[in-house]
Structure 1
């Protein structure tokens, strides 16, 4: 509906093309009956000129049709992909896990392409063929009612062929797209895990896995394409039979004087247009199941209601800044509510304070802090940021208060400056340099050939793990948020860089709340409050010195990392 003018032009081109295609046989019949049959060259010239003029007009119509079809469909697939991308941006982690990244990629690329191909067919012949078929059939009846019964008898056979192909191609199309998801998943895992694969010498194993999913796709595609390939030869057999019968019966009528030669030629042309139109329209029906599968997969994304909404009318401003409170928070991943990851967690962090989380792997540390920016919502209890429940905030306003540095440092394709401006899009050079200095990344940036304009490859793969972590930290620092969340963000740093970075951060975050998830006791031992987690439950809270005395879990962790002198 956004492109009504182009659709109208498309329709006019289609209508004009039909008039021309059916006008030419009519003129040809007159040329034969009135000109050639009587050796009248003037009549032949007169109708020949009109046929030439009409052909030129038809060519213009075809060019206009091609232009409008390409314009509409390319814009259509662009809009679909934009809508999918915008919708996916609103998804929570729950929806990402349900669909899977590989499937989302396939739906955005291949499924949208299938819609474009189908709509090209619809706009090019979908409006033309029904009108062409009806108009041709009218001309067939007008030219020779007695011969028109031959076409009527053939129509049910043609409809049966279309129904058979359409019915059996739908499940094959669905399986084909699912197999394409599996190919993308396998390929994505192979590319992202290339180093691990090579380290364990599993290239052949990965190749066999890929061959298997690729063979599955091939086998389903072969069945689908074989089924669709049946249409053309089947239609050709029916068409040829019709033409043979019409010519035979037409010759009899010409012999008896009931039909003229020119009329028979025109009649055959009308039949050709009618049957060809039917065949082209049948192609749309055979393509429809495949397009319908893609449309349904896209619709699943567009109609999915995110479990965490934007909350446009939520709170955007607060009087206080840098306060965080957990009140009896329990969380279980969606669909697994009987096994909570964390249970009854309560603590408070004020501006200038640092809260740290430590515990064994799988104790719920990362899950806990992901509740603050609402990557997931709490199952029970509530989380207050500056005295307001996080669920009552406008989502953008809530996340604007938070500087989140994920466990896996992720950088985007572009320059170092571009990546740092993710934290603040209008940051000037002074702010960028200051953030890089605080994060201890300035030294290695200045050693790069292009310094802050150094180009980062996909995922920042041309940077070391420690460099990526420091740039991720700089990206959060430049934002100057009210709450800093460091999810094991110092793990790739050496002890000296770690110490320098935390010392600078202490000054930078004196008006903000700081949360640190860490495995190294040395990283968190100076925190104001260390929260010890074990199987999702808080087993102790306090300072480093207090926990060494009262928490066996913390003491065991600390004793495995610190010397006896440091423990005392």
Structure 2
């Protein structure tokens, strides 16, 4: 019941109730038309063939044709509405899941694996679609036909209906046993699909690492294990389902034999007409088929329930970000201020804070550099600015407004972030450059490419800005991808520019030239620039350098000031000098 409630919950608002009502009505018409055919056949045999009344045969035959045509038209309409409703449900579910995932904070992303999200958006939705069309077809047809055929069979001869007292319980017992073994296997299918997707995705994204460590065979074996596990489960499920048809045939055949055996005796004693026996046999088939269809629906529902539960888990994830009910607007100005006031941040369920008592102030035209060892909290700090996470204590303000008082869309419109891993999207270079500003002109794009030192290799290709970008930017080197990602951020023209170790793949000369171009750009001079870096050469000319160690701000100042009085900064400088001397 809980699973059925979950299925109804995710269907609510995503299907047309008129279409559902229409499908039910057309299916009802189809079943009623089908139920009338055996009775008409009985009348033709009893009142037409037996008496030789040809006109009655033609008249009743015409009625049968009319009912058959009505059944066909109703079936077509039902199938159309059922298919349209199920596909629309799938479309709406996929859209809503994708929209929900796109609005996740980073904390929510960390709760569900990417491979599982893909499975839930594709395979799980398909399971819901399949059951939706089954519900609008077989789930409606089966009970109506079962009740109607039972009543009409009883009306033909109540003595023969006693045969169903034996055949239906036998069928029920078999279906119950089949459900007992099939349900757990169906429910396990989705988890095993997740595992295959996860291993396959890891193998594809990490193919270079796999080859570098010569672990090709290990990864193949790992995938084969998951694949074999899924295959065995699927074989077991289908083996159980395959037993349904022969058992159904056996029960139906046995029932028909019993009907003919006892029916013949009734006909011999003139207690039953031949036409009634023919009609009764047809109703018997309809009763057993209806029972079988109902059982098959009950078999597939558990898998759909499991899928519905997995989908609902995504919808139930609540963002940890505080959304302002009446967001304050940012005032258009050339003077900006970003302030961290004793900020502490802790990852979800973490015992120790990732950042503790971070305090600094950055203004327009300033470059703030953040440096520190691995795991010191550099990326965690900059992720707080576009509110990928919300802080635990303290305040972060932009132009005097607490970030929690701003709408997420307006805040992120004013922040350009170049992440550690440069990501480009499939399409043209122009489309990638316009990602943050769809109306950006070619002149603006070329200006950003100039600053990012990317014009040379873009102009070298005859396609220019129409140059095709492969998935993930695979047709560019690591340094080119970084520079293009920087150019894309510059095209956006924001209040705050964040470069998260975005110069790591650049040589020292390109790094220096790019930073010099940034300082000379008129818009950058009115904005706040934050650079996370590992190299002293990258941060040395910053207006303010923040030194992080184990999530704490252990120093802030200029390069000269820190070099004179900050031990951690001195250690970083000395380690890089020794490394350069060794090289």
Give me the TM-score of the superposition, normalised by structure 1. 0.95
SS at 2:475 equivalent: coil
Partner of 1:380: 393
- CA distance in 2 between counterparts of 1:309 and 1:229 reads 53
Q: How does 1:286-365 map to 2 (within 5 A)?
A: 286-311=299-324, 313-318=326-331, 322-336=336-350, 338-365=351-378
Q: Is the 1:73–1:120 Cα contact (8 Å) retained in structure 2?
A: yes
Deviations 1:199-249 (A, max 9, x none): 222111110110111122122223333333333333333322222222211
User: After superposition, where does 1:506-525 map in structure 2 within 5 Å?
Assistant: 506-508=519-521, 509-525=524-540
What secondary structure sits across from 1:538 in the alignment?
strand
Q: Report the equivalent of 1:450.
A: 463
Between the aligned partners of 2:441 and 2:579, the Cα distance in structure 1 is 48
- Matching of residue 253 in structure 1 with residue 266 in structure 2: yes
Matches within 5 A, 1:124-163: 124-163=137-176
Are the equivalent residues in 2 in contact too, given 1:33–1:262 (CA < 8 A)? yes
Q: CA deviation at 1:528?
A: 0.7
Instruction: State the distance in 2 between where 1:565 and 1:99 align.
Output: 43
Q: Match for 1:171 among 180, 184, 194?
A: 184
RMSD of aligned residue pairs (Cα, Å): 2.0
Q: CA, structure 1 residues 167+380, in 2 after alignment: closer, same or farther (shift >3 Å)?
A: farther
Q: Which residue does the alignment assign to 2:563? A: 548
Superposition deviation, residue 33 in structure 1: 0.9
Contact 1:310 1:396 in 2 (8 A): no
> CA–CA distance in 1 between the matches of 2:290 and 2:202?
46
CA shift at 1:6, angstroms? 2.5
* Most deviating of 31-40 and 312-321: 312-321
Aligned residue-pair number:
565
Q: Out of 46, 52, 59, which is 2:59 matched to?
A: 46
Stretch deviating more after TM superposition (435-444 or 58-67):
58-67
Per-residue deviation, 1:556? 2.3
Moved over 4 A (4+): 562-566
SS of 2:519's equivalent in the other structure is: helix
Q: Which residue of 2 aligns with 1:529?
A: 544
User: 2:556, 2:315 → 1: CA distance?
Assistant: 45
Q: CA deviation at 1:312?
A: 5.1
1:21-420 alignment to 2 at 5 Å?
A: 21-311=34-324, 313-318=326-331, 322-336=336-350, 338-420=351-433
State the distance in 1 between where 2:323 and 2:201 align.
30
Instruction: Tell me by how many angstroms 1:45 deviates.
Output: 2.8
- Could you tell me whether the CA contact under 8 Å between 1:166 and 1:289 is conserved in 2? no
Shift of 1:305: 1.1
- Check conservation: 1:166, 1:288, Cα contact below 8 A: no
> What per-residue deviation string (whole Å, max 9, x for no partner) do you get for residues 386-419 of structure 1?
2222222211111111111101000111111111
Distance 2:384 2:237 in 1: 46
Is the 8 Å Cα contact of residues 169 and 290 (structure 1) preserved in structure 2? no
Q: CA deviation at 1:83?
A: 0.8
1:148 and 1:86 map into 2 onto residues whose CA distance is 55
Deviations 1:279-304 (A, max 9, x none): 11111100000010001100111122
Q: Once the 2 structures are TM-superposed, how far is the Cα of residue 564 of structure 1 from its aligned partner?
A: 12
Stretch deviating more after TM superposition (212-221 or 5-14): 5-14
CA shift, 1:478, in A, is: 1.4
Structure 1: give runs of 5+ residues left out of the alignment: none
Q: Is the 8 A contact 1:531 1:538 kept in 2?
A: yes
For the residue of structure 2 that corresponds to 1:145, the secondary structure is coil
Equivalent residues of 2:330, 2:399 under 8 A apart: no
Counterpart CA distance in 2 for 1:475 and 1:465 is 15
When structure 1 is superposed on structure 2, of 37-46 and 66-75 the one drifting more is 37-46
Unaligned runs of 5+ in 2: 1-12
Judge conservation of contact 1:315–1:397 (CA < 8 Å) in 2. no
Q: In the alignment, does 2:30 pair up with 1:17? A: yes
Cα pair distance change 1:156/1:309, threshold 3 Å: farther
Distance between the aligned counterparts of 1:423 and 1:8, measured in 2? 45
User: So what's the TM-score if we normalise by structure 2?
Assistant: 0.93
**Cα 1:179/1:254, change in 2 over 3 Å:** same
Q: CA deviation at 1:480?
A: 1.1
Between the aligned partners of 1:83 and 1:471, the Cα distance in structure 2 is: 32
Change beyond 3 A, Cα 1:260–1:497: same
Alignment of 1:495-506 (within 5 A): 495-506=508-519
* Residue-by-residue CA offset, 1:67-102 (whole Å, 9 max, x unaligned): 222211111100110111111111111111111100
Secondary structure at the counterpart of residue 98 of structure 1:
coil
Q: Is the 8 A contact 1:421 1:475 kept in 2?
A: yes
Cα distance in 2 for residues equivalent to 1:319 and 1:415: 32
Deviates more, 1:45-54 or 1:463-472: 45-54
Does the CA contact (< 8 Å) of 1:31 and 1:44 recur in 2? yes
Cα distance in 1 for residues equivalent to 2:137 and 2:207? 45
